[in-house]
A and B are shown apart, each in its own frame.
Chain A
């Protein structure tokens, strides 16, 4: 290192002679100093240099001297820097040789190609069947990818399949009433063409949610999208083909049950995206135990009768009624507007420089808080008597939506949420001309991200037996 330094530094030839004299002086100084030096390392360094140059060409006397000058100069600045520097260099070169093995694929390190046997790290089976990545590598990839993504003004969006983007039913479970769905594609009612698929080879029938194609097209402009399903891999791939026939939205980003690192839980650990930039669309909250803050809960889409039964609804399914969700006002269209809003808030805030420090979860929270802002809510006959009201799901939901909840009536209360119009609080609401609504009012606002017209959620008088 010192050699190259000396060689590189251009010393004008005119000054060399005087420099030499000076160097010789310092040389003598240095020798005497090293003689008395209690530090054995300093001695060693000197010896090394001398012996090295004895065996080498003798003509480079000048250079030796100049080197010594440098040695002395640097010693002046810092205590014994030569040995320090050398040590640092040695360890640096060691690190260079030793690959940190950021991950392996098929038992080979992805960086140095050496065979690796340990099963450490997180498996990324959906990218390649034998791929595993170490945690540091995942962090590195996420960080790198985030910058790349922000350059394109995009965020991550993780999408669930069943009941969120589509509804599937086994052919066995198709009821007689739904028999009209079994006919060939060209004979289907116009509304179902291009959204109902009969997948004989999988013994399944799949109905895409209305608006899903537009949704994906628009969302792909704002998000890098993943499919994340608890279904099996083969099923997930088939569904991805239906949703994305051109393979432009998802590429290989389809995560299925086998890729989850925890049973019955979906985790963002297998998503190569920084958690602070991920939004999740799912109809089931419980599977996202660790990532509730990223989640946008979807209203379940039940098209088939079997799906309704599965969730314990006794009502007629959409297929039985031969109707469907609205294309323009359905859940996906509504959520797309919410996503667009979150996206624009995330990117269009005034302080551009802190983009990397922003957290989409905070934005999500803020947007949600706008929904029932200014509402002061009292519950009546909604919670069991002994139940601590603050822990109830509806209470928490209302607070997340920006409403203030209280237990007792006061003049500032704007809404009474009740299951029975005959309670004291309900009667107070009617008398004082406050809104009296059923709990559905909060739930619907939670799904649609919009305050609902109160008159659509009337409360009936409970009939006494």
Chain B
């Protein structure tokens, strides 16, 4: 799920950046530092949308660096148990398949793939229904449900299922029709 929230961060800035465009420097450094990172509490920080406030700077003794407390608005992405996500399949093997929804990696084990889909090895490993009408392979888009999440300091990993109504392949780039 996406959230628009306000976060705070203490930014350290080298004195050489002090000047007219101090604020711009601070913002660009903030973007570089936090966009794309993941925090266990909030999930992935997708984009900074605005700066709420920049607090008073505090000179660090001995180094000359100045610490500014910066409050910023950002869009974060955090998967939840029970959430339905659309993801791109990245790897298929006999254990199941891996998919990615943006920065989140999801594993769908073969226990959670409908029973009528069988693993097919070969040049392009895939899961196919017995009549061949549905096929899951690399680069397919699937809709899946999250049943478990593990949030680390830098990574979110999920277990998903497609064994439910309205879940499964939603687009097949390899299909010609």
- A interface, CB within 8 angstroms of B: 102-103, 105-115, 124, 127-128, 130-131, 133, 141, 144-145, 148-149, 152, 224, 248, 251-252, 272
Could you tell me if A113 and B121 are in contact, using CB atoms closer than 8 angstroms? no
B81 at the interface (CB under 8 A from A): yes
Could you tell me if B121 and A108 are in contact, using CB atoms closer than 8 angstroms? no
Could you tell me if B94 and A111 are in contact, using CB atoms closer than 8 angstroms? no
Partner of A110, one of B96, B118, B119, B123: B96
CA distance A298 to B129 in the complex (A): 41
B157 at the interface (CB under 8 A from A): yes
Chain B 132-164 interface mask (CB, 8 Å, partner A; 1/0): 000000000000001111100000011101000
Write 23 A-B pairs (CB below 8 A) sorted by A numbering: A102-B109, A105-B159, A106-B150, A106-B157, A108-B150, A109-B159, A110-B95, A110-B159, A113-B81, A114-B148, A115-B150, A127-B93, A130-B157, A141-B95, A141-B110, A144-B94, A145-B119, A152-B122, A248-B123, A251-B93, A252-B93, A272-B94, A272-B95
Partner of A128, one of B107, B125, B149, B158: B107
Q: Which residues of B (12-41) have their CB < 8 Å from a CB of A? A: none
Could you tell me if B125 and A110 are in contact, using CB atoms closer than 8 angstroms? no
CA distance A187 to B83 in the complex (A): 59
CA distance A439 to B98 in the complex (A): 53
User: How large, as a class, is the contact surface on chain B?
Assistant: 20 to 34
Partner of B121, one of A105, A114, A141, A149: A149
Partner of B98, one of A102, A128, A148, A248: A128
Residues of A within 8 A of B96 (CB): 110
CA distance A252 to B157 in the complex (A): 20
Given known A115-B148, A148-B118, A224-B121, contact A105–B107 (CB-CB < 8 A): yes
CA distance A114 to B150 in the complex (A): 9
Could you tell me if B111 and A102 are in contact, using CB atoms closer than 8 angstroms? yes
B112 at the interface (CB under 8 A from A): yes
Given known A105-B157, A127-B95, A148-B119, contact A251–B107 (CB-CB < 8 A): no
CA distance A113 to B107 in the complex (A): 10
Q: Which residue of chain B lies nearest to A246 when distances are taken between CB atoms in the complex?
A: B123
CA distance A103 to B93 in the complex (A): 15
- The 10 lowest CB-CB distance pairs between A and B, nearest first, are A113-B148, A113-B147, A110-B109, A113-B159, A106-B157, A111-B111, A108-B148, A108-B159, A248-B123, A106-B150
CA distance A141 to B147 in the complex (A): 22
- CB of A436, distance to nearest CB on chain B (Å): 51
CA distance A123 to B137 in the complex (A): 25
B167 at the interface (CB under 8 A from A): no
Residues of A within 8 A of B121 (CB): 148-149, 152, 224
Could you tell me if A103 and B109 are in contact, using CB atoms closer than 8 angstroms? yes
Could you tell me if A112 and B109 are in contact, using CB atoms closer than 8 angstroms? no
CA distance A107 to B159 in the complex (A): 10
- CB of B89, distance to nearest CB on chain A (Å): 14
Other 12 A-B pairs with CB < 8 A, given A113-B161, A115-B148, A248-B123: A102-B111, A103-B95, A105-B107, A109-B159, A110-B95, A110-B111, A111-B111, A113-B159, A133-B95, A148-B118, A252-B93, A272-B95
- CB of B81, distance to nearest CB on chain A (Å): 7
- B interface, CB within 8 angstroms of A: 81, 91, 93-96, 98, 107, 109-112, 118-123, 125, 146-150, 157-159, 161
- CB of A161, distance to nearest CB on chain B (Å): 21
Residues of A within 8 A of B158 (CB): 108, 113
Residues of B within 8 A of A144 (CB): 94, 119
Residues of A within 8 A of B98 (CB): 128
Given known A105-B107, A108-B150, A111-B111, contact A252–B94 (CB-CB < 8 A): no
CA distance A115 to B157 in the complex (A): 12
- CB of A437, distance to nearest CB on chain B (Å): 45
Partner of B109, one of A111, A130, A149, A224: A111
CA distance A144 to B161 in the complex (A): 20
Q: Which residue of chain B lies nearest to A224 when distances are taken between CB atoms in the complex?
A: B121
Could you tell me if A131 and B95 are in contact, using CB atoms closer than 8 angstroms? yes
- CB of B95, distance to nearest CB on chain A (Å): 6
Given known A127-B93, A148-B121, A224-B121, contact A111–B112 (CB-CB < 8 A): yes
CA distance A108 to B160 in the complex (A): 11
Could you tell me if A110 and B147 are in contact, using CB atoms closer than 8 angstroms? no
Q: Which residue of chain B lies nearest to A249 when distances are taken between CB atoms in the complex?
A: B123
CA distance A252 to B122 in the complex (A): 13
Could you tell me if A109 and B95 are in contact, using CB atoms closer than 8 angstroms? no
Q: Among B109, B120, B125, which residue has the most Cβ atoms of chain A within 10 A?
A: B109
Q: Among A105, A130, A144, which residue has the most Cβ atoms of chain B within 10 A?
A: A105
CA distance A148 to B125 in the complex (A): 12
Could you tell me if B93 and A110 are in contact, using CB atoms closer than 8 angstroms? no
Could you tell me if A252 and B91 are in contact, using CB atoms closer than 8 angstroms? yes
- CB of B115, distance to nearest CB on chain A (Å): 12
CA distance A149 to B118 in the complex (A): 12
Residues of A within 8 A of B119 (CB): 144-145, 148
- CB of A251, distance to nearest CB on chain B (Å): 7
Given known A110-B107, A112-B148, contact A251–B157 (CB-CB < 8 A): no
- CB of B109, distance to nearest CB on chain A (Å): 4
- CB of B112, distance to nearest CB on chain A (Å): 7
Residues of A within 8 A of B125 (CB): 251
- CB of B113, distance to nearest CB on chain A (Å): 11
CA distance A59 to B88 in the complex (A): 55
Could you tell me if B112 and A108 are in contact, using CB atoms closer than 8 angstroms? no
CA distance A333 to B155 in the complex (A): 47
- CB of A284, distance to nearest CB on chain B (Å): 28
Could you tell me if A145 and B94 are in contact, using CB atoms closer than 8 angstroms? yes
Residues of A within 8 A of B93 (CB): 127, 251-252
- CB of A431, distance to nearest CB on chain B (Å): 60
Residues of B within 8 A of A112 (CB): 147-148
